[in-house]
Amino acid sequence: MLDLLQTIIVTVLTLAILVAVHEFGHFWVARRCGVKVLRFSVGFGKPLLSWSDKSGTEYVVAGIPLGGYVKMLDEREGEVPEELLDQAFNRASPPRRIAIAAAGPFANFALAIVVYWCIFLNGVNGVAPVIGSVELGSLADRAGLQAGAEITAVDGVETPTWESLQMQLLERIGESGDLTMTVKPAGSSLVTTKTLRLDGWMQEVADPNPLRELGIQLYVPKVLPKIQNVMPDSAAQKAGLQAGDLVLSVDGVEMPDWDSWVNIVRASPEQPLSVVVDRDGRQLPLTLTPARTLDDSGVAIGFVGVGVEPPSWPEEMERKVAYGPIAALVAAADKTWKMSAFTLESIKKMITGMLSPKNLSGPITIAKVASSSAQYGFFAWMSFLGLLSISLAVLNLLPIPILDGGHIIYASIEWVIGKPVTEQIQLWANQLGLALVVCVMVFALYNDVLRL
């Protein structure tokens, strides 16, 4: 129940920020272009909170937090007093209407830059992409990649961290041709280039994992069954387990890693276990009886209430980069540009069939990712917020009627030919655009349900 409540709160907060920034962009530019704004609404439906300013603009927070809008004075939507005709949106010049329509997406781009600037200013930590194992017979194996080697570049672009490696590989989804990896073998300062041949790579794969598809498992340090914290009144506390204990064995079976410990606990609800732990160099025998709980499938499992002590990475694999204010701003703008290009390229690949449409995500996936990113910390959530802001900006700039990009197209045509697109053509185009957007949303929601 608490997880659901957290998911709802984080999702509403995330969407509210994105929508408020987007609509503020329209609002701010509209006012400076001399267009009267009647209503600024975050959310749809019945207003929960509303107030007005001295200019007559009504500000609304509505009950359905799945969007928002800025309502401007417009002769096409109702009668306009003669003294206010010069403030009507439809009377504004084409360049001004283009600026107003583009302001929402560009406000989202600006939000992404600010978010990434804060992240880079805080400093960026990463881990070197060192190969832990290579699957026999895989693309990586056939190319001669070996465990212990560090992947330093992909297609000539440096990949100092896991994240940079994943991004470079994701850009090749659906493509055919040679993928080159520059690697530095373990214990060597020399680099070599390996070539992997792609053929419609992951074209039909939903939720693609590039490294897994290549047959590469990156190195992660072994997670020992060492306890970091014990929940109050839990089975672990009642048995005498303490933070810092290293679990050596259970019922005489050695526990080489955390997964082994978790598996035996989950398989033993309400069954007493003989546990031996190492505490400050001394071996202590304990009797632990896991509590009974249910997993997501309704199956009874054991639960003891302890947390794992995270493993430490080898110092030579850690990548830490600190930025000053100016360098952070440059890096933030660069990342926003690259993520925008990546989003556009992904849309193109979906349209041309190079990327499976099963990768399209809807509100359920957004809610789950927003909640999980928040659990990893404030900056993880901010990173997701920046990515969503870029996606919202790019999608709204697509030349689809009813979206901001459609309004830009209408105004651009009028600017070029000297007369507006007829209302009948706009009506037909808007209906077609609405049908397209609804179909995409329904399909994205269908994908979300399948992922559940």
* pLDDT tens by residue, 60-85: 998 877 788 899 999 888 888 888 88
pLDDT (tens digit, 9 = 90+) per residue, 107-121?
A: 999 999 999 999 999
| Beta bridge mates, 198 | 177
In this prediction the pTM is 0.82
Given 23, 150, 171, 309, the catalytic residue? 23
Does residue 386 have a pLDDT over 90?
yes
Radius of gyration of the chain (CA): 28
Taking the C-alpha atoms of residue 205 and residue 340, their distance in angstroms, rounded to an integer, is 22
Average pLDDT in the 31-45 region?
Answer: 91
CB 37 within 8 A of CB 31: yes
Query: Residue ranges of the domains in the chain?
Result: 124-220+312-321, 227-308
pLDDT (tens digit, 9 = 90+) per residue, 232-245?
A: 999 999 999 999 99
What is the predicted pLDDT for the residue at 327? Answer: 95
Does residue 1 have a pLDDT over 70?
no
| 124-220+312-321 shares its CATH topology with 227-308 | yes
Q: Name the CATH topology of 227-308.
A: Pdz3 Domain (2.30.42)
CB 183 within 8 A of CB 254: no
Taking the C-alpha atoms of residue 277 and residue 282, their distance in angstroms, rounded to an integer, is 8
Among all chains, which residue has been given the structure tokens 């997670």?
223
Helix runs in 123-234, H state only: 139-142, 162-170, 210-214
One-character DSSP codes across 129-151: -BEEEE-TTSHHHHTT--TT-EE
pLDDT (tens digit, 9 = 90+) per residue, 217-236?
A: 999 898 899 999 999 999 99
Summary mean pLDDT of the chain: 89
Does residue 438 have a pLDDT over 80?
yes
Does residue 302 have a pLDDT over 80?
yes
Question: 291-305 burial string, b = 16+ CB within 10 Å, else e?
Answer: beeeeeeeeebbbbb
At the fourth CATH level, the homologous superfamily of domain 124-220+312-321 is PDZ domain (2.30.42.10)
Taking the C-alpha atoms of residue 65 and residue 119, their distance in angstroms, rounded to an integer, is 26
**Is 135 part of the annotated catalytic residue set?**
no
Does residue 92 have a pLDDT over 90?
yes
Taking the C-alpha atoms of residue 109 and residue 350, their distance in angstroms, rounded to an integer, is 23
Among all chains, which residue has been given the structure tokens 């096409």?
76
